[in-house]
Amino acid sequence: MPRWRTILCWPDTHVPDQHTAAVENLTAFAAEFNPDRLLILGDFLDMKGPARWSRGLAEEYQTDLQADCDTGVKILENIRAGYGGPIDFVEGNHEARIRRYLAQYAPALRELRSLQLEALLNFEDLEISYRHQPYRLGDGWVAIHGDKIAAYGGGSALKMVRQFGASVVQGHTHRLAVVTESRGYRDRQQSLTGMECGHLSDLSKASYVGFGSANWQLGFGLLHLDDTGRSAPEVYPIHPDGSILVQGVEYPAPDFSEFDRLIGVENDGHAS
């Protein structure tokens, strides 16, 4: 009998601009649901300081990257405390800012192990595996962060599906979508799927978003794969209070307590 396995797809968190209620409840959900793998799809860190559009501006110097990394490590420690399975990490374009900044402005330092993402987020101690993309998940599926933004949800992933000739799960767009495209004829049909897994960031902290409005959705994904090549992708919204409904089971909004103290947030659910 084919064995199904489930991957929890953790999307863009943009620490220190994480949506605290969503992050806390998804952490609790991962511990209770206990997927076969947990896949972080990149842009876990925001990294404003080394962004190319921050160069020469106040933001390049006003950010505390060490504090941001420390907060990221605390969140990963909380995930690991409740979840003992494999955790994979795909680099996003925001984490890549570190490499690019060093390569352009401090090339003598770019090979220092202490400045690599794996060291900054303590991957070794937390038993997190850095995965180069596209990262092959199983027959017919790959994981990426993504670098394209389409006009509609699912469009970015569909572009990558056509480019790779494989089904794709990705972050980057901050949208929730599953889009399937079929080709062929009669008994020679092939269906490929693009999956976009939303985001876990606080929209109110995205200063580049006009009027605090964007076509983004808080959420995450569950990707079910079996050993015969079948798949069942699902995306789930997370409500503004952090509550989640998965397969008919409600995971209620968290009560801000110990988690807040650990990552330093105020009781309104926003990072301090």
Domains of the chain: 4-263 (3.60.21.10)
pLDDT tens digits in sequence order for the chain, 272 residues long: 778 999 999 999 999 999 999 999 999 999 999 999 999 999 999 987 665 555 555 565 567 889 999 999 999 999 999 999 999 999 999 888 888 888 887 888 888 888 899 999 999 999 999 999 999 998 899 999 999 899 899 999 999 999 999 999 999 999 999 999 998 998 889 999 999 999 999 998 877 776 778 899 999 999 999 988 899 999 999 999 999 999 999 999 988 655 555 555 554 444 43
Answer left, alpha or beta for residue 120, where phi above 0 means left and psi between -120 and 50 means alpha.
alpha
Q: Which amino acid does the sequence have at 188? A: R
- C-alpha distances (whole Å) from 30 to each of 89, 137, 173, 213 are 15, 19, 22, 29
**Tokens of residue 9, six digits:** 């797809």
Calpha distance 182→228 (Å, rounded)? 19
Tokens 């079996």 sit at which residue? 226
Token couple for 90:
């795909």
Q: How many angstroms separate the first and last alpha carbons of the chain?
A: 50
**Predicted pLDDT at 110:** 81
Q: Which residue has the tokens 């990558």?
A: 160
pLDDT of residue 113: 86
Rounded distance between C-alpha atoms, residue 146 and residue 168, angstroms: 10
Q: Taking each helix axis as running N to C, give the angle between helix 20-33 and helix 65-82, from 0 to 180 degrees, rounded to the nearest 10.
A: 30
HSE, side-chain direction, 13 A CA sphere, residue 37:
19
Whole-structure pTM value: 0.89
Distance CA 103, CA 116 (A): 12
- CA–CA separation, 220 vs 126, rounded Å? 22
User: Using an 8 Å Cβ cutoff, are 181 and 191 in contact?
Assistant: yes
Distance CA 9, CA 88 (A): 10
Whole-angstrom Cα distance, residue 17 to residue 201? 6
Strand segments (E) across 23-158:
37-40, 87-90, 128-131, 135-138, 141-144
3-class DSSP state for residue 62? helix
Strands (E), the chain: 4-10, 37-40, 87-90, 128-131, 135-138, 141-144, 167-170, 176-183, 190-197, 219-226, 231-237, 244-246, 249-251
The answer to whether residues 143 and 90 touch, using CB atoms and an 8 Å cutoff, is yes
What's phi and psi for 179, nearest 5 deg? -130, 130
